[in-house]
Structure 1
Amino acid sequence: MEVVKSVVSFMCNSEFWRMAVLWSFSLIFSYLKLFYESLFSQESKFQPRCSLKDSIFSTALVARPVCIVTGATSGLGAAAAHALSNEGFYVVLVGRSSELLSKAISEIKSRNHDACLKAFEVNLSSFVSILEFKHSLQQWLQDSNMHSSVQLLINNAGILATSRRFTCEGYDDCRMLATNYIGAFCLTKVLLPLLESSPVPCRVVNVTSFTHRNVSFRQADRETISGKFFMKSKDYPYARIYEYTKLCILLFSYELHRKVGLMKKSQHLSIVAADPGAVQTNIMREIPSPVSTMAFAAMKLLGVLQSSKTGVSAIVDAALAPPDVSGVYFFGGKGRSLNSSALSYDAKLAKDLWDASCNLFEEEQVAAQRDGNCAVGNDE
């Protein structure tokens, strides 16, 4: 009886219907757009994969390129770590649970005995944890006699939290925003010196979602990225927050792409976004089991539900695309790309988001230095 009440209560919430209707529509729209462009577009939007031997990462200066995958304990992150270890990368798995990281490494090793893997326990909703990871990573590279650089960063970590939570550092931030967007932004900023010091072209792959198409409001300031804007609602707007984080990832990707074009020392860095589509992972674990089972069944009936093994294709396509590919939104696998929503290309909105995110980043740096939680150096 309690299960029935829980399911009914969940389905009576407007956020559920937003997911059920708008998310389904945006997913189908994306596939229809992909189909239309494959038939009528004169400009090819197919990007071939390069093998590691022939790819942007191949050089005598880097014996084995380093790839960092966040959210690597399960689902798409674990699938990406496995696929890229097969390609010859030294894969650094980043996750919140040391136990799950060990399990993920064991599973990858069981399928690829030659895989080179390293795990780091990191909480992406904590700036201090991100800083500690950077220093631990640098120390590991040094101790392993590897080049002090990173060739590939895949910002994959993400959560769908259906209830209010705060970051571990006590701010009035929404943990979903902190994990899905702010964590990815701060990690990229912190690791940028290691990417720039790579002797070969390097790349950032930001994992986003078709749900970004449902965002219509043009606001990107401290209030929105901290979650305070959304906390004004009586009911927790988890679906709208999730959509917004995925729009932010795209705005961030395109703005970093534009800035890289203006920075001489970063011109060998490319930034792309990857949208795996609908994938059956544990991201919906906070949704009542009968509801998520019903949702997966409906998507399977429509032929749009993928396993992690299949869905990871868009991420690997983005990672192994030719070196001149940057500022592109991969969707649908097979090297295919699309235009994301019109709002995601709004340069002013992207700049506003960048400025607000940089201000938050600097405040977190100052707080970390003040509290003595972690030594922070100026690497840029």
Structure 2
Amino acid sequence: MDREALRMVRSPEFWRMAVLWTLFLLYSYLLLFLRGRTAVPRRRRPGPCAGGEGEGEGRRPICVVTGATSGLGKAAAAALAREGYHVVLAGRSTQLLSETVQEIRRQQPDAHLEAFHVDLASYKSIKKFGTLLKQWIQETNSVPDIQLLVNNAGMLAKSHRITEDGFDEMIQTNYIGPFILTSILLPLLKNSPVPSRVVNLTSFTHRCVSGIDVSEDALRGMKLGQCSVGKSYPLASTYEYTKLCLLLFSYELHRQLHTSSVSVMAADPGVVETNIMRELPPCLSWFAFFVLRFLNLLQQTDSGVGAVLDAALAPPGASGKYFFGGKGRTIRPSGLSYDVEVAKKLWAESSMLFKELQLRGRDLGTN
């Protein structure tokens, strides 16, 4: 075990992940057990949308999956293509995007796929993606619309890094970026002639948060910078914070859109063997997966993606549900996630930061 690994093992954040995260994962499965076999059935394959190429037969509905080059995002993209969607894969690496598209097409020669670069830790990148996506849709379809947005991309950073927009990188990637992307793509979702959907990937780790600060400084991660001076970066508590923010955002968006044809779902895949812990010392991530596998709590992507597909394919009437464990099953998230006043304040602060980035972009001449 190297020095970095030893230093992390001695930190409170490591034991927070090792103990609290395991306990709340077990608690989530307990809730699943107590709920019984009640499940939300998946709807049938998405129907064709009017307009665009092949208007006589209709066109495939369009879905966008972020973080689509690995793990759950890659599995979700492949599964949704199989379900009949024209899948837009969005990711940070153009090379990995190309390789992922080729891999899915080898398995599904008739898959309809498009790939776009986007970095959720950059407002400029998100805005450019939104512009290029709309242009691509307008080139092929008479109506600019999409039917499904899966906010899957996320990270577990080991250090406090400031983005070009002035945010903590993990907070911007896991929450601020998805908030901005959803806001930009919401008009396309509302334009859909058939019911559309937003699916946000959250985590059982949100249950670890007992109180939440949604002020501008907290959302920027400025307080993390102050706390991390002379101390280790609070990677575990920051990750939990972003997942609770994403859940609060999901429920506030659900409340605002309850009279529209856009539904909002939260999906919690549990623990899946992905590269989410790639920044941690390899020996620690290996040991964590070993223990979780021994406890029969570790899933592979093909099974872990079940909760994502349940949320993506559930009937519109299931809007606001928290999908966990696959097989269409839902549980209740933490009580704090239902706090309407906190959610409204979070929405207001996030919207203000979004507007600030928009104004800064105009001042800099961002296209």
TM-score (norm 1): 0.92
1:254 is aligned, of 251, 254, 258, to 251
* Deviations 1:187-222, CA, capped at 9 Å, x for gaps: 000011111111110000000000000001132111
Corresponding residue number in structure 2 for 1:333: 326
* Deviations 1:284-314, CA, capped at 9 Å, x for gaps: 0111111111110110111110011110010
**Counterparts of 1:84 and 1:335, CA distance in 2:** 16
- By how many angstroms is 1:60 displaced? 4.2
Corresponding residue number in structure 2 for 1:24: 22
Q: Tell whether 2:157 aligns with 1:155.
A: no
Question: For 2:318, what is the secondary structure of its paired residue?
Answer: coil
Aligned residues: 358
Corresponding residue number in structure 1 for 2:220: 226
- By how many angstroms is 1:349 displaced? 0.7
**Counterparts of 2:174 and 2:254, CA distance in 1:** 19
* Deviations 1:205-262, CA, capped at 9 Å, x for gaps: 000000000001132111111111222213210110000000001000000011112x
- By how many angstroms is 1:181 displaced? 0.3
* Deviations 1:14-65, CA, capped at 9 Å, x for gaps: 11111000000110000011101117xxxx4x1111221xx4x544455100
**Counterparts of 1:157 and 1:145, CA distance in 2:** 27
Matches within 5 A, 1:142-291: 142-145=138-141, 147-169=143-165, 171=166, 173-233=167-227, 234-261=231-258, 267-291=260-284
Q: Tell whether 2:303 aligns with 1:310.
A: yes
Structure 1 counterpart of 2:29, one-letter code = Y
Q: Tell whether 2:129 aligns with 1:136.
A: no
**Counterparts of 2:120 and 2:4, CA distance in 1:** 30
Unaligned runs of 5+ in 1: 375-380
Residue identity over aligned pairs, in percent, reads 51
Higher mean displacement: 135-144 or 342-351: 135-144
- By how many angstroms is 1:110 displaced? 1.1
Q: What's the Cα RMSD here?
A: 1.2
**Counterparts of 1:218 and 1:27, CA distance in 2:** 20
Structure 1 counterpart of 2:214, one-letter code = A
Task: Report if the CA contact (8 A) 2:144-2:191 is conserved.
Answer: yes
Q: Tell whether 2:365 aligns with 1:365.
A: no
Structure 1 counterpart of 2:172, one-letter code = A
Matches within 5 A, 1:296-307: 296-307=289-300
Matches within 5 A, 1:60-71: 60-61=50-51, 63-71=59-67
Unaligned runs of 5+ in 2: 52-57
**Counterparts of 1:349 and 1:223, CA distance in 2:** 15
* Deviations 1:145-179, CA, capped at 9 Å, x for gaps: 3531010000000000011111133x1x1000000
**Counterparts of 2:137 and 2:113, CA distance in 1:** 13
**Counterparts of 1:276 and 1:134, CA distance in 2:** 27
2:344 is aligned, of 351, 356, 372, to 351
**Counterparts of 1:309 and 1:362, CA distance in 2:** 39
Corresponding residue number in structure 1 for 2:97: 101
Corresponding residue number in structure 1 for 2:54: none
Structure 2 counterpart of 1:253, one-letter code = S
Question: For 2:267, what is the secondary structure of its paired residue?
Answer: strand
Task: Report if the CA contact (8 A) 2:148-2:196 is conserved.
Answer: yes
Structure 2 counterpart of 1:241, one-letter code = T
**Counterparts of 2:236 and 2:133, CA distance in 1:** 34
